[in-house]
Structure 1
């Protein structure tokens, strides 16, 4: 290839963009990675702040099923770069991985920063260049990429582009979804960006909110419709969030969009039989307070008891007035009315994005030949647990391979 014929722009310096850059640079392309932020991988670093969950160790068939309706569009990319390949890749950068008790895979360093530093060094050694503080704003009259920089407009003439601009969650880290309007103006179908793996709003009473904000409900089981998830939920000032809530967020979000609200049922003692709880709750209370009785008889935490009291107030009754049987049933299915979805800016990820109908098998936009897309800006969502990063890495690699083939055809 001549120098000009192999020029490639990667727009977005997150996992999908950097993986596309690595594939292209290893294939001999002259790669420049553009990003609007002052440094690369800001959301990636945020994701690793509490431990970088790279992927998951469950068997591939179960792993793939997590992508639900998007699976037919993501299968080939993930099978070409599966979880084990991601772990092997991490280890080539000096970051060994381990499997946690939940099956999630983490680097032994646990953080994202050592992996990102090693990755950027590799890209530099491959000749890939970083152009930071470059915000993509579309094209000029001649079809060249246009960027806004602190020094003014910057125009780039290239042979191929990989878009990896992320969704619209955590916009302060760079993924603000502004690209949606740019592509829609070119006729590209973009599904509305919506919160995914998000919290929900609840009209808590002031007493409950002030006392239990930030408190976790541990070892609970959450149910929405036919789906039940075990895990942890956290009471927030505005509502409820946490890992088990995120796992149900797609169903809950769609219910709220359709009906204006949704009911989340919380089993506070999912491992206990209702009959067993009824027997314990039938015991004499003596002189102890009712809350202290619940704590001992049903092994409930203060926040769990507070949630029961909140539910009873909402229904216009009191816990003390319930029969042991009804109280046991309530403990196993506390109804929480969700009134809305937390803002997308606070969501872990986003749903919606570029419709897969707009892409060919190489992740190239059919309406914009030579322009590829990858990562969270595509119309898919997945639960937390390593599935988000895995698909971002895999689609980035797939878009990189597609761009390489495009360049070869254009020689």
Structure 2
């Protein structure tokens, strides 16, 4: 078969994985990246420890993608967490599993892995063109603004791997939405995911405790109950424990009803024990001393109780114990999507075929966070991005082959999936 010219627009993990699959099959692949370097969000995530996947049981892992779990299942089945581990090790990256079940490179950085990945792609003939910004469709092709000027290309097939609407300074700005909508592609509105929330703190609490962490707590929402920690901010709350509840809290706010994150400030003690221990304290003592001696709490936890509970309840040992075990933090709105780690919304699944091709635009495929799915942090986001990249790479290969054999595309996809 004659070598096909494949264009990949966007150089994040999903696009790079598709490039790896296609170039390994002998196709001529060019990646067009708007930023000065590829995979900038990937590199930023790796600054504090690159979480490449999660080690939990796969039956549980596959449920982490909410309503999109069934649609993502074929791609994830073909690129499971164990496959990502093997892929990383194949690039010379030693990995380990943390106590949380998250999987990291031993060097805790993204840059060595990315360098090895790019070297592999270049060895397979992939061309990477940076500072090439896609500006839409033109003359039946794809238009770009480049350092050399305006460019229009007409590849045999193209893949969009442009990310969603979070972290626009790293390239994911959703500028592509109107261009696809004009072509008849249905796109669900983007919403923040893995995000912080606004809380109407008092000025005194905000000024004194912004930046303070709440450690060794559990948090409950319609998503469930999870242990961890989070941070008080000037605007409200954020951090890994908040992110675990962000989808449920966001959805609750969208109903127009009040939404709360329930915090257990003392997970190791029962309400009954706390009530007894607090009742034994000298009522003439200060509130902070009674709480420290009776519940083992101090610092921001003590002041958070004063911030959110009424004074009468704080003087009653039984009611105070109930607040310690289930303190509702009233949230008002998610933080802006530009601050979110990821996003929900994007190209609707009904707009794609099984090979990730847009039904309205034959020969154009889409992957990663451009699609309407979300997942918690912990390696799930990266795993799904790379899995959809691989699946689209297979889909593109089947489609370009089908140009010579028109009936082979659907049959080939079914064989794969």
User: Could you say whether these structures have the same fold, taking a TM-score greater than 0.5 normalized by the shorter chain as the test?
Assistant: yes
The Cα shift of 1:331 comes to 0.5
Residues of 2 paired with 1:77 and 1:181: CA distance? 27
Q: Write the deviation string for residues 25-51 of structure 1: whole angstroms up to 9, x where unpaired.
A: 001110000111000110000111110
Match of 1:406 in 2: 399
Residues of 1 paired with 2:232 and 2:240: CA distance? 12
Q: Is the aligned partner of 1:194 residue 2:191?
A: yes
The Cα shift of 1:259 comes to 0.9
Q: 1:160 to 1:384 in 2, by over 3 A?
A: same
Q: Which runs of 5+ in 2 are unaligned?
A: 405-417
- In the TM superposition, what are the counterparts of 1:334-353 in structure 2 within 5 Å? 334-353=327-346
Q: Is the aligned partner of 1:2 residue 2:29?
A: no
Match of 1:383 in 2: 376
The Cα shift of 1:102 comes to 0.6
Residues of 2 paired with 1:407 and 1:301: CA distance? 64
Q: Is the aligned partner of 1:137 residue 2:135?
A: yes
- SS of the aligned residue for 2:143 comes to strand
Match of 2:169 in 1: 172
Q: Is the 8 A contact 1:12 1:165 kept in 2?
A: yes
* TM superposition outliers: structure 1 runs of 4+ over 6 Å: none
The Cα shift of 1:149 comes to 2.0
Match of 1:211 in 2: 208
The Cα shift of 1:129 comes to 0.5
Q: Is the 8 A contact 2:313 2:319 kept in 1?
A: no
1:86 corresponds to which of 76, 80, 84 = 84
Residues of 1 paired with 2:154 and 2:380: CA distance? 35
Residues of 2 paired with 1:20 and 1:70: CA distance? 20
- SS of the aligned residue for 2:267 comes to coil
Q: Write the deviation string for residues 32-88 of structure 1: whole angstroms up to 9, x where unpaired.
A: 001110001100001111100000001110000111210111000001010001000
TM-score when normalising by structure 2: 0.94
The Cα RMSD (Å) is 1.3
Q: Is the 8 A contact 1:261 1:340 kept in 2?
A: no
Q: Is the 8 A contact 2:223 2:245 kept in 1?
A: no
- SS of the aligned residue for 1:48 comes to helix
The Cα shift of 1:210 comes to 1.1
Q: Is the 8 A contact 1:382 1:388 kept in 2?
A: yes
Residues of 1 paired with 2:323 and 2:284: CA distance? 24
Residues of 1 paired with 2:85 and 2:73: CA distance? 18
TM-score when normalising by structure 1: 0.96
Aligned length: 404
The Cα shift of 1:225 comes to 3.5
Q: Is the 8 A contact 1:309 1:318 kept in 2?
A: no
- In the TM superposition, what are the counterparts of 1:149-160 in structure 2 within 5 Å? 149-160=146-157
- SS of the aligned residue for 1:345 comes to helix
The Cα shift of 1:301 comes to 3.3
Match of 1:55 in 2: 53
Residues of 2 paired with 1:326 and 1:286: CA distance? 15
- More deviation in 388-397 or 259-268? 259-268
